[in-house]
Structure 1
């Protein structure tokens, strides 16, 4: 199976990796078929774990390769990574300002973005979808970098990133479907909403892979762009949500565990 995967085009590899990360989101959402409630303590730890994975992936899988690819610039080698990182954060900030969405556990009156008449369920799914845009881009850019035949990019490293992103998508699916079930949604409807947040990942992965293959000089900027977008999501949403219910210490240990796992995957496999 691995040999067959290596023979695929980078864009198809990115698409399949995006399908995998979406599938893990759906797996997390499927917990709604087993329970109507879910421990807030466990959810906060899982969200912390997701944040740790995203932070580690942002450096080892994205920023570090971006810096390595720019070494030929000498003392200015930081420029592509710095510019891409800032642009990624600004892009997510713009989307955050415009797209109506609602953070977990907040009343609908606290919905962010432009005013809308969307239902609470739609706003929740939109918020989680914001997470998945930079994650899908990161996976796609990683596979696109392999196509560029750069020493700092490897297929194993791209697969490790997809695996790490997939693992941290599990609690995101759960974080949408279970609260919706508590609010009276049927199990099937709650599941469908929960998994829907991951649908954007295969699309974003294909866009990321195709973009860097088409414009290889932009690769370090693209890697750093994905990193900046992910760090924005972590700081603006994931960590605050994990710290808001009195289980901050446990959630912090979840961050440490997620960071350590992603670092291990990237270094060991990449």
Structure 2
């Protein structure tokens, strides 16, 4: 339990670490750099899902639990997307008044972080040594640029930098709670572990293909984003080999 608390906390607070940069920035990132960062995190998550979560689910439960879990993860994210307002943080051209809609957007971003927390918690319940730490690291590396982008969005809505930093950090805090829930469900009901690992993989694959890759290709930076995706994937593979 202590490990899952630490892992969930570190991955969640990485959102705040990324948002911290907003306090030292005098201008916003260019679309090119935001696309490169998004693609890099997509590569990290792809490696974590395909080289850790999916193989672990297969080894502990076989193909049926893997397929069921992946489809449940995709279905959950699809349901969230249909029922929770979504805003393109990187390519939106219109402003949104903080006093009218920003709180709704913040709530949407927070709820979208729940599956990532579940992925970390479930991974710590796996029998495979190091899976939890690896997934926590992958989610943390993905959360850092996400935190920066959320903070930048809030600053663009005329929110003070320090307040944007605090709010962006808090959007990631929900991952600690969902991480503990994911760990509790799978650790104490052993047959759920392969389903939980596959669920986390399905959720991550949905985020990669539905959100990160399209957003990184939205401004004519497809080639740079593709290179960045490959570098991110290899970077995660390297970490897997080293640790």
TM-score by length of 1: 0.82
Aligned residue pair count: 240
- Counterpart of 1:178 in structure 2 is 152
Q: Of residues 195, 201, 209 in structure 1, which corresponds to 2:183?
A: 209
Is the contact made by 2:85 and 2:105 (CA closer than 8 Å) also made in structure 1?
no
Structure 1 Cα separation of the partners of residues 140 and 117 of structure 2? 10
C-alpha distance after superposition, 1:213-249 (max 9, x if no partner): 1210111111001110111111111111111012121
1:95 aligns with 2:80: yes
Shift of residue 118 of structure 1?
Answer: 8.2
Return closer, same or farther for 1:62/1:218 CA change in 2, 3 Å cut-off: same
Provide structure 2 residue ranges, at least 5 long, that are not aligned to the other structure: none
Structure 1 Cα separation of the partners of residues 210 and 203 of structure 2? 11
Please give the secondary structure, in 1, of the residue aligned with 2:71. helix
Structure 2 Cα separation of the partners of residues 161 and 40 of structure 1? 28
Structure 2 Cα separation of the partners of residues 118 and 215 of structure 1? 44
- Counterpart of 2:119 in structure 1 is 138
Please give the secondary structure, in 1, of the residue aligned with 2:17. helix
Shift of residue 37 of structure 1?
Answer: 1.5
C-alpha distance after superposition, 1:26-72 (max 9, x if no partner): 011111111141222111111111111111111122111000112xx
Superposition pairs of residues 60-139 of structure 1, within 5 angstroms: 60-70=51-61, 77-104=62-89, 105-106=91-92, 119-139=100-120
TM-score by length of 2: 0.90
Q: Of residues 180, 185, 192 in structure 1, which corresponds to 2:166?
A: 192
Provide structure 1 residue ranges, at least 5 long, that are not aligned to the other structure: 1-10, 71-76, 112-116
Between structure 1 and structure 2, the one with the greater Rg is 1
- Counterpart of 1:26 in structure 2 is 16
Q: Of residues 30, 45, 52 in structure 2, which corresponds to 1:54?
A: 45
C-alpha distance after superposition, 1:129-175 (max 9, x if no partner): 35522221111111111xxxx3xx10x33212212221121110111
1:262 aligns with 2:243: no
Root-mean-square deviation over aligned CA pairs = 2.1
